Amino acid sequence: MTTYRTVSINGLDIFYREAGSRDHPTILLLHGFPTSSHMFRNLIPALADQFHLIAPDYPGFGYSSMPTVDDFDYTFDRLAEVMAGFVDAIGLKRYSLYLMDYGAPIGYRLAVQNPEQIETLIVQNGNAYEEGLGDFWKPMRAFWQNKTPENSDRVRQALASKGAKWYYITGARNLENISPDTWTLDQALLDRPGNIDIQLALKYDYQSNVRLYPQWQAYLRQYQPPTLIVWGKNDQGFLVEGAYAYKRDLKNLEFHLFDTGHFALEEDGDAIADHIQRFLTTHLVENTKLTSNNK
């Protein structure tokens, strides 16, 4: 069963979901925007019989601490620093990374800092290439180039007008497949006083991720982590071209596209769970058995 825990990291309470035996290979599940570890609520029990799964909420998201922008530096460097502390605090030594949306820039920072800890990558609408950023990002790029009150208000208004629901329904093939519980919970958390300022700070800092794309691509080329791509091809924020771009740098790549949007787990969670199970069994479980038999 899934347990719901909290650990203190540098004075912050970091909430996380955990399931499966620690004797099994570990998957660190890193969520995207505008959600939390809640996005993994169905995937975790689907894999927990064979794998150890950990899904934290970042500061400002889900049930973790939400200090104000005056009390905490909401940058991706800082979120990655907290997640590195989280990994140490719960004693993870080797693990696979599930990278989705914001989870990609956080996870790639962890991978670059400690490449020896990363066993495999599972990338679901997690971008590391310029090709993945389309017209959706034009207002954001203007904001990055000139942080005027007008550009800030434009991004703030876009966040408010789209709302959490937009990210779930855009590109989905059948809206009846999407539980309204998803965007209702996300929106309630986004609507907490001060949270819009947190999200605005992270949207501004997203430019730091784009600058690091070459470094992350170099990591992929050098270390060649076995990688599973499971991508909702109708995502308007992280275009399918960003999925194809991984093929340039990775030799050991399994590639699957799904006829859905940003939150591919909502419509294709069963298929994605099956792909993960087979992929990790091949690259981790069977390899572990071979290593044990050769001792």
Q: What distance, in Å, lies between the first and last C-alpha atoms of the chain?
A: 34
Instruction: From 20, 93, 99, 14, select the one nearest 54 (Cα to Cα).
Output: 20
* Helix/strand/coil percent split, the chain, to 5: 50, 15, 30
Residue 230 structure tokens: 């499971």
3-state secondary structure of 23: coil
Decide: 38 and 62 in contact? Cβ < 8 Å: yes
To which residue do tokens 């693990």 refer? 95
Counting every residue, how long is the chain? 295
Cβ-based neighbour number of residue 185 at 10 Å:
16
Decide: 32 and 100 in contact? Cβ < 8 Å: yes
Mind giving me the DSSP string for 100-128?
-TTHHHHHHHHHHH-GGGEEEEEESS---
Mind giving me the DSSP string for 74-102?
-SHHHHHHHHHHHHHHTT--SEEEEE-TT
Report the distance separating Cα 223 and Cα 252, nearest Å: 11
Residue type (1 letter), 159: L
To which residue do tokens 């060649």 refer? 224
Among all residues, which ones are annotated catalytic?
A: 262
Residue 113 structure tokens: 């800092």
